[in-house]
A and B are shown apart, each in its own frame.
Chain A
Amino acid sequence: MAEVRALLDILFKGCVLLIAFLALVPVLHLTLAAIVNGGPVIASAGLKFFTEVPPPPGNRTYGILTSLIGTIELALLSTLVGVPISFMAAVLVVEFPHSRLGRIVRLLSRTLLELPTILIGMFVFTIIVVPLGSPSILAASIALALVMLPYVTTYIETALSSVPRTYREAGLALGMTKARVAFTIVVPIAVRGVVTGILVGLAKAMGETAPLLFTLGRARTSLNVDPLGPGDAIPLLIYDYAQAPYENLREVAWGATLVLITLFLLVYVLARLTIRGVRV
């Protein structure tokens, strides 16, 4: 009997490890594929991959200048729009947890986390793109800011509420107002979690495609940085070129994927490593 159990143990362990390994294979293989396919493309184009606009179909030149600049601009603008709102809303949820507004925002931000992002694209198309008459970098930034909102709010909220209650009491006992306690005691103690939340939101916004489909336009062959004009973004370029029947565009798509993954990982590693938090 004991032998049977030992055997079952080994069998179970083996299965778990095998399936767990299988679960990690896709993301590893996909990263590897991006390096193997995208690496040579970028290497052969050299710096031009980042300084030239995408090639015409069939032509063997490469470049993603417009979408690279677009992705960076979108990331900055959407962070600028989204983070202050998320931050202040999170402070409200944590500092006034029993107010009705606090409860509503808490529930909403959690429920909105997994709202299909294509809906946000349709929404921004309806209320911004149509009235303005054309897609724009601004409209797309607002769409991405809406994607970020629930993530960043929930992250910051979790970080702030993990600060032990005793520090709040200590601040209040010194005669600090609630606001001062929140901004000079609670936020600095939780700074690592707050910054991580912002960076995770940024990474999420940077990798999104669906909210951009109808809001950004595809200003791919000439560079525009005016927020009111149309722009391009790396995920959008990959989406279009993945469906293109031209070999060279697919190669550009792989190069762009490698760039996107690199940017994405960079933000994550930044979130993980560079912020030295306060140990409580």
Chain B
Amino acid sequence: MGGSYALLVEGLKVWYGRRQVLRGISFKLPPSSILAVMGPSGSGKSTLLRAINRLLDYVPDARVEGRVEVFGLDVYRENPYRVRRLVGMVFQTPNPFPHMSIYDNVAVGPRLHGLAKSRDELDRIVEWALKAAMLWDEVKDRLHEPPTKLSGGQQQRLSLARALALKPSILLLDEPTANIDPTNARRLEESIRRVAVEDGVTVVMVTHTPQQALRISDYVAFIYEGKLVEFGRTREVALNPSHKLTAMYFRGEL
């Protein structure tokens, strides 16, 4: 079906108990593109991400209807662990595992799924991931220190490296720059742009500023009260929004 698409979402509805948070979301995203998901807080953006990799399974009372496909894989019929192997995620708060070293934080995914056959290979994967997250130069001399010594922005880039080390097909980012300083935020954006272009990773990123969406995304989705009110190529939507809510959001009025 959606074989040519990286991500297909069709009629996605989510309830928390009796409260409906997503009211039928549908869109298709081609491979190696970056989608920025926008909308006022509480509109259901984070819920959308967690529906894609089935983290909603662990939210009590959450109910999902509809269809999600990742490279043709029907997420809700597949074993969720296989899905999450393909879908990486970076969260709003930096969350490297505090009990593991910087190195182990990046190595944990490859080790888990047996991606490296030797110590050398693992070292290479870790180095690649840390370079992709633009963190390598800052940590290469203290790979075996705990991540808690890093700054918040560095911790967030470490979280990105941890997700990238698995070479995910899709990367989900939940307002990754909301809690870090502008310099680190810029570096994070640059890394994301690069993994999309150079490594062909498809990115779905929830963002809290229209500027960020304009800077890095190919597509934008605008969600309002659980509905997808706008979806399209970023430039087209920014220049000529079809919906007045989107226009207001871009002007900073929402």
Whether chain A touches chain B in the assembled complex (some CB pair under 8 Å):
yes
Instruction: Tell me if A189 and B99 are in contact (CB < 8 A).
Output: yes
Interface status of A1 (Cβ within 8 A of chain B): no
B81 proximity list for chain A (CB < 8 A): 175-177
A279 proximity list for chain B (CB < 8 A): 98, 148
The complex places the Cα of A170 from the Cα of B55 at a distance, in Å, of 10
Instruction: Tell me if A175 and B166 are in contact (CB < 8 A).
Output: yes
Interface status of A127 (Cβ within 8 A of chain B): no
Interface status of A167 (Cβ within 8 A of chain B): yes
Measured CB to CB, the closest approach of chain B to A182, in angstroms, equals: 12
Interface status of A168 (Cβ within 8 A of chain B): yes
The complex places the Cα of A168 from the Cα of B59 at a distance, in Å, of 12
Instruction: Tell me if A167 and B97 are in contact (CB < 8 A).
Output: yes
Given contacts A98-B60, A279-B148, contact A174 B95 (CB under 8 A): no
Interface status of A185 (Cβ within 8 A of chain B): yes
Instruction: Tell me if B95 and A176 are in contact (CB < 8 A).
Output: no
Chain A 149-189: CB-based contact to B (< 8 A → 1; otherwise 0)? 00000000000000010111111111111101000010011
Measured CB to CB, the closest approach of chain A to B67, in angstroms, equals: 21
The complex places the Cα of A175 from the Cα of B84 at a distance, in Å, of 5
The complex places the Cα of A188 from the Cα of B146 at a distance, in Å, of 14
Measured CB to CB, the closest approach of chain B to A101, in angstroms, equals: 15
- Count of chain A to chain B residue pairs whose CB atoms are closer than 8 Å in the complex: 65
Interface status of B216 (Cβ within 8 A of chain A): no
A177 proximity list for chain B (CB < 8 A): 81
Instruction: Tell me if B97 and A280 are in contact (CB < 8 A).
Output: no
B91 proximity list for chain A (CB < 8 A): 166, 169-170
Instruction: Tell me if B112 and A278 are in contact (CB < 8 A).
Output: no
Instruction: Tell me if A175 and B148 are in contact (CB < 8 A).
Output: no
Given contacts A174-B108, A176-B112, A189-B99, contact A166 B93 (CB under 8 A): yes
B88 proximity list for chain A (CB < 8 A): 173-174
The complex places the Cα of A168 from the Cα of B97 at a distance, in Å, of 10
Residue among A170, A175, A177, A188 having the largest count of chain B Cβ atoms under 10 Å: A175
Mostly, the A contact residues are helix
Chain B 88-102: CB-based contact to A (< 8 A → 1; otherwise 0)? 110101010111000
Closest residue of chain B to A176 (Cβ to Cβ) is B112
Measured CB to CB, the closest approach of chain A to B65, in angstroms, equals: 20
B47 proximity list for chain A (CB < 8 A): none
The complex places the Cα of A170 from the Cα of B166 at a distance, in Å, of 13
The complex places the Cα of A180 from the Cα of B98 at a distance, in Å, of 16
A168 proximity list for chain B (CB < 8 A): 58
Given contacts A166-B95, A185-B97, A279-B148, contact A174 B60 (CB under 8 A): no
Interface status of B163 (Cβ within 8 A of chain A): yes
**Can you sample 30 A-B contacts with CB below 8 Å?**
A97-B60, A98-B60, A164-B95, A167-B95, A167-B98, A169-B58, A169-B89, A169-B91, A170-B89, A170-B97, A170-B159, A170-B162, A172-B55, A172-B84, A173-B172, A174-B84, A174-B88, A174-B109, A174-B112, A174-B162, A175-B81, A175-B82, A175-B109, A175-B113, A176-B112, A178-B58, A188-B99, A189-B98, A191-B99, A279-B148
Q: Taking beta carbons and an 8 Å cutoff, which residues of A are in contact with B?
A: 97-98, 164, 166-178, 180, 185, 188-189, 191, 278-280
